[in-house]
Structure 1
Amino acid sequence: MSPSISSSTPAAAPSEGVSAPERGRAPLLFSLFALYIIWGSTYLAIRFALEGGFPPLRMAGVRYGLAGAVLYAVLRLRGAPHPSARQWLGGGVLGLLLLVLGNGSVVVAQQWVSSGLVALAVGSMPLWAALFGGLFGQWPGRSERWGLVLGFCGLGLLNVGGSFGGNPWAAFALLLGPVSWAFGSVWSRRLPQAPGFMSSATQMLVASGLFLAASAVKGEHLAHLPTPRALVAFGYLVTFGSLVAFSAYGYLLRNARPSVAMSYAYVNPVVAVLLGVALAGEAMSPVGLLAMGAILGAVVLITRARG
């Protein structure tokens, strides 16, 4: 989520027998795998954690607190400098937009909506990113405009078809989440950020404090000890969902075209729907399938145009 690492950073010594393009391609491919597959599976992990006894806001706060603390400690041990006050502020703004409002809305919505439908609604994020891009001088072209029309028709089908179970809070959360995440992603390059993965660490640590404060205000508490499945799901979210996948998203925002970083949006819903059907007995209505086709088609149009 931060600007590219300064050119004053010493270059790594070339590995014998491995070309520079190959070395540069490997972290890119791994980051895409993390976003496509790992991030797509976190929706089901969130559902298992909530069903097993974790309060939603407290779970998110502890999740990002643990992941952020581990990442921060490792980076400091490897010699990374302590972020400045401006970098903490920039990381805090992105932590609020991406994690508290963006991911927090996902966690809240999954109390009432299946993991596959939540992933599908969140997959609309590039639609909003295309709109926000206009605020920074990059207005949608013809192909993107058609994609916007198609995508918002798909979102309308999700609401008209009753896919959100008639719950206005779920519908509001699944509107707020993608909008906030898109705005934060577009704005990320214009905010002061710590270099490299330290940016992700500052975002997660600030977001953790905000989540835990909101949990305390709401009065959340553990009614009983989480089930073993919930604990495994929570560990998966901390390790793979936060440390690996969220850091990979930050890497792509810094080192790849925006269309590449946003491309996870048309893979995650498919992964989440398939896992929900296979492992949690979720089902997608015909209207939901039609909406999925419209939204995914729109995202493909937009990301290919921006490429």
Structure 2
Amino acid sequence: MSSPPPSAAALAGRRAGTTPTLIWTALIVVYLLWGSTYLAIRITVETLPPLLSAALRFAVAGLILAVVLRLRRGPGALRVDRRQLGSAALVGVLLLAGGNGLVVLAESGPPGVALPSGIAALLVATVPLLVVLLRSATGDRPPLWTFAGVTVGFAGLVLLVLPAGSSDAVPLVGALTVVAAATSWSFGSFLSGRIRMPTDPFVATVYEMLAGALVLAVVSAGRGELSDFHPAQVSARSWLALGYLMVAGSLVAFTAYVWLLHNAPISLVSTYAYVNPAVAVALGALLVAEPITPQVLLGGAVIVAGVALVVSTERPRRASAGSRLGTSPVSERR
């Protein structure tokens, strides 16, 4: 997922021929589609087994992307060596089986147990904060303001999940499950820039999706989801939501994101990290009446402020070193 960053001259040449309208169109696509995937997950797991639905999503999306690359680039389009394949598979398992799979589990279940989609998105927004901690643990020394952003962000996380003593309190088990998901996603994002990955991010994503789908399918079978799965009992809206996740979340938004990485300033592209949660919260409230309590507003605002501070203080380092703070062509996605 981490291909070598384009040279400054190459980026300047690409951006010179790219209109602001195209950039903002692609950015809005990423904002809205990735932000909406949390709600789509909630609708999908209403009648579909959670991990099985995630396995189907990434298997289909990965196969479609593989076919497109094969048709456009020829027989050798997907060729990688064993080390690259193993690296992509490891990152895919961390991002998709661990990261996305745990989010799907957290959003499944009856009311009062399932985590609202908007709150899941706010908790996932802590990924850049966790990546900073991983960098620090391996000897990197981010700027002081970056650590200030991490502190602010985690203070918001505590505010968000603190027991409120009301029926609208955030389900603690679901919240901790999403924190574990964000931790897995952070490890995958962190490793993707430090191990030998396929040089083409599209090719890397094919193997990541397929590896993640395989692990999700195995765990799904171990949980007995396959024996409980009856297609006739799945609602039309769950099938539609799954299709939306496959196409809009895993293919369209992903393609727009990779295009942005090559045609827009990384500081602008990175704004998805704190716009997506706002979109998810708004859609959850408008479309499925998820509660927005003062606690959610306060905790969410503090988390987003912390992430914004981290992203903004990392811009000079990214421009000079070509590093990416927890960003990945696969959303998260989502």
Smaller-chain TM-score bracket: 0.7 to 0.9
Give the alignment's TM-score, normalised by structure 1.
0.87
Tell me what 2:118 maps to.
116
Matches within 5 A, 1:53-72: 53-72=47-66
Matched, 1:206 2:219: no
CA contact (8 A) 1:54 1:226 kept: yes
Q: Could you tell me how far 1:182 is from its partner in structure 2?
A: 1.9
Structure 1: where are the runs of 5+ without partners? 12-17
> Which has the larger displacement, 156-165 or 262-271?
156-165
**Secondary structure of the corresponding residue to residue 267 of structure 1:** helix
How far apart, CA to CA, are the structure 2 residues paired with 1:208 and 1:301? Answer: 34
Matched, 1:94 2:91: yes
Matched, 1:32 2:39: no
**Aligned partner of 1:283 among 284, 291, 301:** 291
Tell me what 1:14 maps to.
none
Tell me what 1:141 maps to.
143
> Which has the larger displacement, 282-291 or 58-67?
282-291
Matched, 1:47 2:51: no
Measured against aligned partners, the alpha-carbon deviations of 1:139-168 in whole angstroms (never above 9, x if no partner) come to 232211221111111111122134664442
**Structure 1 residues 117 and 100: alpha-carbon distance in aligned structure 2, compared to 1, 3 A threshold:** same
Q: Could you tell me how far 1:306 is from its partner in structure 2?
A: 0.2
Tell me what 1:197 maps to.
202
**Equivalent residues, number:** 296
Matched, 1:105 2:109: no
Measured against aligned partners, the alpha-carbon deviations of 1:111-142 in whole angstroms (never above 9, x if no partner) come to 21111111111111111122122245432322
Q: Could you tell me how far 1:22 is from its partner in structure 2?
A: 2.7
How far apart, CA to CA, are the structure 2 residues paired with 1:247 and 1:173? Answer: 28
How far apart, CA to CA, are the structure 2 residues paired with 1:274 and 1:75? Answer: 35
**Structure 1 residues 249 and 85: alpha-carbon distance in aligned structure 2, compared to 1, 3 A threshold:** farther
CA contact (8 A) 1:67 1:239 kept: yes
Measured against aligned partners, the alpha-carbon deviations of 1:252-281 in whole angstroms (never above 9, x if no partner) come to 667777655543121011101111111111
How far apart, CA to CA, are the structure 1 residues paired with 2:271 and 2:6? Answer: 26
RMSD: 2.6
The percentage of counterpart residues that share the same residue type is 38
> Which has the larger displacement, 289-298 or 30-39?
30-39
Tell me what 2:163 maps to.
161
Measured against aligned partners, the alpha-carbon deviations of 1:12-65 in whole angstroms (never above 9, x if no partner) come to xxxxxx9752339777655533331110001111111111x1100000001000
How far apart, CA to CA, are the structure 1 residues paired with 2:103 and 2:295? Answer: 21
Give the alignment's TM-score, normalised by structure 2.
0.80
Structure 2: where are the runs of 5+ without partners? 109-113, 316-334
Matched, 1:21 2:28: no
